[in-house]
Chain A
Amino acid sequence: MVATFSLLLLYQLAGELLVHAFGWPFPGPVIGMSLFFLTLLARGTVSHELRNGTNALLQHLSLLFVPAGAGVMVHLHRIADEWLPIAVALVASTLIGLAVTALVIRAMAGDSEKERT
């Protein structure tokens, strides 16, 4: 667990350093994920410890959104004033985003395992 966590932090650190050195418009963790992914591809396998450690963290991914989400407290006034456009836009655009993506992929790739070539 400690080894896995150190590894994740090192890749995040590497991502942050690259982002700052080259002025890239991406967050460091996304670059860190890409670097980590390329390392795994080059090595060809994932150890049991690494898989268990990352699974433990990813299992509770939604918990990590609570502090940012509670920021709704700061914007209660704006949300109360504009609740209709905000609510309709959020619900409709989320459904549209889900449907457009899934329908485009299905149109191009089919919907059953057998259709894979």
Chain B
Amino acid sequence: MSSQARHSANAASLPIQGIHTISLFVRDEPGVLVRVALVFSRRGYNIESMVVSPAAQSGFSRMTMTCSGDSSILEQMIKQLEKLVDVVHAIDHTHDDAYETEIALIKIKCDGSQRPEVLQIAEHFGAKVVDYGSQSVMIRVYGSSEKLDAMQALLSQFEVAEVVRSGKILMARGVETT
């Protein structure tokens, strides 16, 4: 980039909204979740999903979050996250080659006449029926978030009573750090 072009980046350029996947390695301390969330809310980011779980080392946790907001400030926001005392590292995996997965539980209200098609859709997506009642079925499916979206869209022709999704988790492939 020419220096002139770089400097035009001083401008409060029009925000490009994007979905980002960020993974955080944090100390398991009281308040760490609030501190992280405040960085997002202050910069106008919306957290779409967030998974918090214990890390392999005791005393540390993993956070995987998908969020949407102005892409041009993402780099700076990551640095603000890293600046938090309890955050060991923060990595943007949006464009990385990482393995991603998510789980959804979907409850469909359906009688006997609709059930064969519901089960057919479930089978197609490799989903498993985990609860089978006279008026409803509960389906568990896992895979990429896009796959879950697609299945949810197909099931929307039925009466979807409840959907609970875990939120995306991911891990960098090979020896890369998550």
A binds B: no
Question: Taking beta carbons and an 8 Å cutoff, which residues of A are in contact with B?
Answer: none
Residue positions of B touching A, CB distance < 8 A: none
